Chains A and B, each alone.
Chain A
């Protein structure tokens, strides 16, 4: 019961006292391990058990060794009372769980037939071989294996919050969105709007002659973001440049997170990823610029400074 705050212990004791019709202080003392568990006083151990080990009334009861109570695994011989005291699970519940498990495993219910719930301080290991019921129990038998697929559960009366959810997250250096982030966003928004307006005042969007199906301009270029692809068209088969490369490009981008299994975000740990990505970034930039400014009539190579720019936004 170590580490449980007093008020929780008390609440638990009150509830148990009410349920069992006992005195709160007595239960509390028992919970705290300051007094021997009541049932042991009421009902002395049955003869079959070699060492019932009732704790000396004055000394606090030693914690039952490797407290099997919480683990849910059936230990060797079990002292239900001690277990109950240490885990806070009422004896009847412990016993019911044991019986249930025995039934499920097709073994006879451990020999405690007729015994009142509290009467078996050292219950036989409930999965011990059927015949050996009480006698074998006392021996430190090898821990019985829990068959595969069997989930064992245990009802606990007190659950520390930490076990279920992180009540307190680790502290982080945080700032208020208002005003800090909103101010930055507002400024960024104003700067971009102003820049766009000023640019639009001075530079007009292009408008050429009316669309004419019979007169293809030379060269004809796709919008700039497709010019890298159009550039590829002059090296590869249209199936490759126009279809396979862009399809693989988009799919390739989308699956990056599922291919890159490296959990680190430190640039020094991701040299390969950064190199590969930068290569493609650089290549597409070069192809786009090349297709935009270095391709003249017939989509042939031309220098923008000698032959002029064949490019419209």
Chain B
């Protein structure tokens, strides 16, 4: 609409440009029919279904869930938060990888430099560390909530087992990351922790040798644990998470209500 002096107003122009973009081929090739970002989206039951069905989220969520499943008090969001923390840790972890070299003494110096030389370095490191501790806690609580709901009962037995694997992987991820700052805390906590593995009957020495890459922790251990921490374990974890989420849906969605 033209304003008083016959010109097209700024607001009008912006909204025209917006319409233009949203009806363009590029835009509609990105946002599939039903996306709320697409031109002409209206809130209808049909579109509510399309939002999920035509979205990559369809890999995780069905179109509809049982009403009790969206009550915060049922899952406490714990499984979802475990996953989200994993994503957050991946993002902050990638950031840290740009500034970290897994050699001695460089590893320690790089961590130190995060606090002084890198913009937001200390903040991101803090988030990565506290996020990791939080994830261990959240995964553990998720397990407890699943237990108390009896959600491991048929047909969900196997998903519980997958969950236990995920719990173990979470602990391993955290433990391998613990060594990387290469300070006194890291070195000795990991020494104490991995000494426990060495008590395993028969294969104890081999286990410990394979884990720390020698008879005792050396700078070689650092490289080994770094690779485990940033590549191997996350990769395995993602695979198991995929199975876990898939099974949640194949087992008929979330369990309950009690």
B-binding residues in A (CB < 8 A): 172-182, 184-185, 188-189, 192-193, 196-197, 199-201, 203-213, 215-217, 220-226, 229-230, 233, 238-239, 241-243, 246, 250, 253-254, 256-258, 260, 262-267, 270, 273-274, 277, 281, 312-313
Residues in chain B near residue A241, CB distance under 8 A: 196
Could you tell me the distance between the alpha carbons of A273 and B147 in the complex, rounded to whole angstroms? 9
A13 to B6, CA, bound (A): 76
Which residue of the partner chain A has the closest CB to B107? A211
6 further contact pairs, Cβ within 8 A, besides A188-B72, A267-B258: A175-B65, A182-B61, A196-B131, A222-B192, A257-B152, A313-B129
Max count, chain A CB within 10 A of own CB: residue among B80, B151, B195, B196: B196
CB nearest to B152 among chain A residues: A257
| Most chain B beta-carbon neighbours within 10 Å: one of A258, A260, A265 | A265
- The contact sample of 20 A-B pairs, CB cut-off 8 A, is A176-B48, A176-B52, A182-B61, A184-B77, A192-B134, A199-B126, A203-B130, A206-B183, A207-B112, A207-B181, A208-B183, A210-B108, A212-B184, A217-B185, A242-B197, A246-B196, A250-B168, A256-B147, A260-B153, A277-B147
Binding site for A on B (CB under 8 A): 45, 48-49, 51-52, 57, 61-70, 72, 77, 80-81, 84-85, 88, 104-105, 108, 111-112, 115, 122-123, 125-131, 133-134, 136, 143-144, 147-154, 156-158, 160-161, 164, 167-168, 171, 174-175, 178, 181-189, 191-193, 195-197, 199-201, 204, 216-217, 255-256, 258
Q: From residue B52, how far is it (CB to closest CB) to chain A in Å?
A: 5
C-alpha spacing A239/B151, complex, angstroms: 34
Question: What does DSSP make chain A's interface, helix, strand, loop or mixed?
Answer: helix
Given contacts A172-B66, A206-B185, contact A253 B164 (CB under 8 A): yes
Q: Which residues of B contact A174 (CB under 8 A)?
A: 64-67
A175 touches B160 (CB 8 A): no
**Shortest CB distance B206–A (Å):** 13
A256 contacts B65, C-beta separation under 8 Å: no
B258 contact set on A, CB distance < 8 A? 265-267
The answer to whether B153 and A216 touch across the interface, beta carbons within 8 angstroms, is: no
Given contacts A225-B171, A256-B147, A265-B149, are A312 and B185 in contact (CB under 8 A)?
yes
